[in-house]
Amino acid sequence: MEKIIIIDFGGQYTHLIARRIRDLGVYSEIINPENFGKDNDVVGIIFSGGPQSVNADDAYRIKFDIATNEIPILGICYGHQLLAKMVGGKIESGENKEYGFTSITCDNKNSVLFRKLNTEQKVWMSHGDHVCSLPQSFRITASTNSVKIVAYESDKYFGFQFHPEVTHTENGMKMLDNFVELCTQERNWKVKNFKQQLTDEIRNEVKGRKLVLLLSGGVDSLVALELCIQAVGNENVYSIHIDTGFMRKDESKEIMEHFRELNFKNIKIIEAEDLYLKELEGIVEPEEKRKIIGKLFVDIANEELEKLSKEEEFILVQGTIYPDTIESGSTDKAALIKTHHNRVDEIEKLISEGKIIEPIKELYKDEVRKLGEELGLPHKLVHRHPFPGPGLAIRVICSDKTKSQIDYTKEEKFMNKILSEFKMEGKILPIKSVGVQGDFRTYHHPAIIWFKKDIEADWKVINECSSKVINKLKTVNRLIFSLNPVDDLHLEKLFLEKHNLDELRNVDAVLRKRTDDIKEIWQMPVVQLPLRNTDNKLCYVMRPVCSFDAMSASVYEMDFTEFLRLSNLIRNIDDAGNLLYDITTKPPGTIEWE
């Protein structure tokens, strides 16, 4: 069978490229560069993105005779730079960093991959290095204001500095389709029936054992549960829902109501709030929080498993999906973005011992939803907002300090110079959040920005400003917007304590009630900050994002009048103060703050 192979250099979107090629009707496979060899069925090659600099001494390479190659090759991001270097081009590391939405100007008349597209295109960038020169036989086919070579072509070689595979590159699929057309005229790959394929795989793995599913109540674990039930029968599946105390308001109660409606059996809720709060007392560092939560999850599950296994042999089931594994750095070369609770060491050990199965681990969120509908689950459940396994624990930004240890006066001055171009002002906050820039994990400062007095808020200006600030400042990976000046915030100690979590639950419930019917909002995390205003009230951030598969996200542009209404509603909650608006795309900011 003809196929296009993707060489995996550790990019966060490598599997997404493979999916897009299959969506275009051609079989695709991902291989590591060291495993690359001659294969007569290969009709095209794609070099993926990756977290390294091509100029680094230990940069990922591939043994490949570029001089005798006759197969079309497309390089994306790191792959774009590596391919350019392999043919004699030069790569520069400098200040021209770009993350998120970027406008490019393309040569659609002389380009194969941009043909039939408009000259101006919106694409999704995530890079630090860039190609600065190419051999004479190559032609530059796209540029931005800050980078001359954003795309290039020759007879066989093509490069994109941006990511055509993410949905936020508006015509990315057309660009990839043009590449596929160069490779083959056959489009005979059809995605197998997920339901039949996965139920068969579960039966083969289980081999007569009973299943115990760790049920969070989210879409992923719900679909995994229904898949298991249809594979081996309701009577052979046990579900454990551990109420960690980090659920949203009335969430555990709602979960049980949903499951009663679906006639699910053998479901047990374990109240573990006190245990989790005790184990997490005084813990501030995000990765440590995630790992403690994951370990406790396994310990409690093992305890229940021991009780059950006195009578039967069991195997654990997790509703892990592909973004959970890729962000945890699980591919051979991918960088760690954050450790997901179902990817802690204890879970990895159980997987290696064959004690856990993850039936939907190769799927993305949109595919999970499609599978859920194919399984016959109600639309309202399948299309619920995603909710992270660690729950609200990672939406409380903890701090054990009351004063910043770093002086960022210089960076703040530089930031305000940029902001002045947009008639805005801002302040770098004395806290940190996780991000992903150029396929690397970043842990940098958010900055808060606002318009100067009498200047009307404008989303176009906000988006342009956000992109420029993050691309120019190394210390900032996330921007939040305020309707009013907020240069009076002060840092305060904040831990995972019940009263803080209860207030976050209340704030989250109010905001969800007002926004749940907005179809464009794919997810809306609400974050509690260790910052208080002059009224000594805690600040909150809402993050409404638009996404398709969680691998990239844009910001939902809410009407400013509605944002003001929500801000006023939040101020009526006991200890709640300012409501702020996260305006960061992914990349450079992950959807969750931790």
Q: Is 127 a catalytic residue?
A: no
pLDDT of residue 348: 60
Residue 7 pLDDT exceeds 80:
yes
pLDDT of residue 193: 60
Same fold, 3-183 and 194-390: yes
Greater confidence (338 vs 80) lies with 80
Q: Is 241 a catalytic residue?
A: no
**How confident is the model over 567-590, as a mean pLDDT?**
92
d(CA 135, CA 557): 43
d(CA 536, CA 531): 9
Across 277-281, 315-319, 473-477, which has the greatest mean pLDDT? 277-281
**Token pair for residue 422?**
């947009």
Tell me the angle at which helices 560-571 and 498-515 cross, rounded to the nearest 10 degrees: 150
Confidence of residue 428 (pLDDT cuts 50, 70, 90): very high
What is the Rg, in whole angstroms, of the alpha carbon atoms belonging to the chain?
25
Which residue among the candidates 98, 130, 153, 165 is catalytic per the annotation? 165
Domain 3-183 listed as CATH 2.60.40.10: no
Phi, psi of 81 (to 5 degrees): -75, -45
pLDDT of residue 57: 81
pLDDT of residue 539: 97
On whether the CB atoms of residues 7 and 79 are closer than 8 A, the answer is: yes
pLDDT of residue 579: 97
Question: In terms of Cα–Cα distance, which of 326, 377, 357, 392 is closest to 219?
Answer: 377
pLDDT of residue 339: 46
Largest CA distance in the chain: 73
d(CA 151, CA 166): 16
Q: Is 258 a catalytic residue?
A: no
Residue 78 pLDDT exceeds 80:
yes
Please list, in sequence order, all residues whose beta carbon lies within 8 angstroms of the beta carbon of residue 123, skipping any fewer than 6 positions away.
101, 102, 103, 104, 150, 160, 162, 163, 164, 169, 170, 172
**How confident is the model over 309-319, as a mean pLDDT?**
78
pLDDT of residue 294: 85
pLDDT cut 70: percent of the chain above it: 91
Greater confidence (81 vs 315) lies with 81
Q: What is the pLDDT of residues 501-538, one digit of tens each?
A: 999 999 999 999 999 889 999 999 999 999 999 999 99
d(CA 218, CA 223): 9
Greater confidence (523 vs 351) lies with 523
**How confident is the model over 155-166, as a mean pLDDT?**
94
Phi, psi of 571 (to 5 degrees): -65, -15
pLDDT of residue 345: 59
Question: In terms of Cα–Cα distance, which of 120, 95, 100 is closest to 162?
Answer: 100
Strand partners, 9: none
**How confident is the model over 565-574, as a mean pLDDT?**
93
Residue 375 pLDDT exceeds 60:
yes
Which residue among the candidates 163, 168, 444, 445 is catalytic per the annotation? 163
Question: What are the sequence ranges of the domains in the chain?
Answer: 3-183, 194-390, 409-582
251-264 burial: b if 16+ Cβ within 10 Å, else e = bbeebeebbeebeb
- Is the sign of the CA dihedral 80, 86, 88, 94 positive or negative? positive
Q: What is the pLDDT of residues 447-505, one digit of tens each?
A: 999 999 999 999 999 999 998 999 899 899 999 999 999 878 999 999 999 999 999 99
pLDDT of residue 254: 80
Question: What CATH number is given for 194-390 in this structure?
Answer: 3.40.50.620
Q: What is the pLDDT of residues 189-244, one digit of tens each?
A: 765 566 887 899 899 988 888 898 888 778 898 999 999 999 999 999 998 888 99
pLDDT of residue 340: 44
Q: What is the mean pLDDT of the chain?
A: 87
> Would you call 68 helix, strand, or coil by DSSP?
coil
Strand segments (E) across 304-402: 314-317, 356-357
pLDDT of residue 354: 65
> Would you call 90 helix, strand, or coil by DSSP?
strand
pLDDT of residue 146: 84
Which residue among the candidates 15, 77, 228, 367 is catalytic per the annotation? 77
d(CA 327, CA 275): 28
pLDDT cut 90: percent of the chain above it: 53
d(CA 397, CA 143): 39
Residue 378 pLDDT exceeds 50:
yes
Residue 342 pLDDT exceeds 50:
no
**How confident is the model over 162-170, as a mean pLDDT?**
88
User: If you count DSSP H runs as helices and E runs as strands, how many of each does the chain have, helices first?
Assistant: 16, 24
**Token pair for residue 23?**
């969506």
pTM of the model: 0.73
